[in-house]
A = this chain, B = another copy of it.
Amino acid sequence: MNEGHLPIGRFARLCRLSVKQLRHYDELGLLTPDHVDPDTGYRYYRPDQARAAMLIGLLRSIDVPLTSIGRVLSGDTGALGGVRDRMEADLARRERNFAALERILSDGLPRPEVTVVREPARRVAVVRDIATPDRIGVVTSACVARLLAAVGTPKGLLIGLFPLDLTRELAVAVTVETSEDVPGTSPDVLPGGLYASVTHVGPYDQIPLTAHALLAWVGERGHTPEGPLREVYVSNPVTTPQNRLVTHLMIKLEDPE
């Protein structure tokens, strides 16, 4: 064999990777040793493979997944762009989570006051869309924009409707009370009756904190929540600071018979 060949341990020290990692990368086809002894299975690397090895280490050190690294190594120049986008979205989500945790730590676990109110049926103009769980915020904003464009200055408060199961693809809707049909929207009637209601104060992306408490209240009392979760946007999000935004969260209770 060539004299320059390095056994795996020496190569690992050279590249600042662990032996385990190198074997794993070999197995995945990311970095195949220049030569493998057919009798003993010993892996031997050429020194100039250190560049590829260290590229792997570099990208791993910034959390690029091995599959993406594989694409980079095989010349897919666009692979890192996708990683960038995913990292950015992940980062934003983690920042939201961190803010929510900070809030819990400062305000304690949410135990807001739940009241039962009787709501009239409401004739509304509806704008709907489909969203994935992580895009609820964006999609809802878009619906609001479309609704406002169709209705003009609304006379009542905007009401959002969200299904209780947020784990998969879901339909969101934004409505406003109206007395006549509005072009560009669908007419609908929100059922009246008894609702459990709670007030959320804070950023919209922390609504789940309060909504969980509302649903817990409902479940605790043995009610079965019916229909979508209703969010009544009381504050003007343009003029109100994030942590003063007021939203009423309501869920219909089954009719007592």
Contacts and interface: CB of A to CB of B under 8 A. Distances in A.
A252 to B, nearest CB: 15
Q: Say whether chain A's binding surface is mostly helix, strand, loop, or mixed.
A: helix
11 contacts: A14-B215, A14-B219, A47-B219, A47-B220, A48-B219, A53-B219, A54-B215, A58-B209, A62-B98, A81-B105, A91-B91
Contacts of A101: 62, 64, 80, 83-84, 87
A167 interface: yes
Contact of A58 (B55, B212, B220): B212
A90 interface: yes
Interface string A72-100: 00000000110110011011001111101
Contacts of A55: 109, 212, 216
A172 to B, nearest CB: 16
Contacts of A88: 98
A164 interface: yes
Nearest to A14: B219
A100 B225 CA distance: 47
A41 interface: no
Interface residues of A, number: 56
Interface string A193-222: 000000000000000110011011111111
A15 interface: yes
A97 B105 contact: no
Given A55-B212, A88-B98, 20 more contacts: A16-B164, A16-B167, A47-B219, A47-B221, A50-B218, A50-B220, A51-B216, A54-B212, A54-B213, A54-B216, A55-B216, A58-B208, A62-B98, A63-B94, A84-B102, A84-B105, A87-B94, A87-B97, A87-B98, A94-B94
Contacts of A90: 94
Contacts of A15: 215, 219
A115 interface: no
A225 B51 contact: no
A48 B216 CA distance: 8
A36 interface: no
A29 interface: no
Nearest to A103: B62
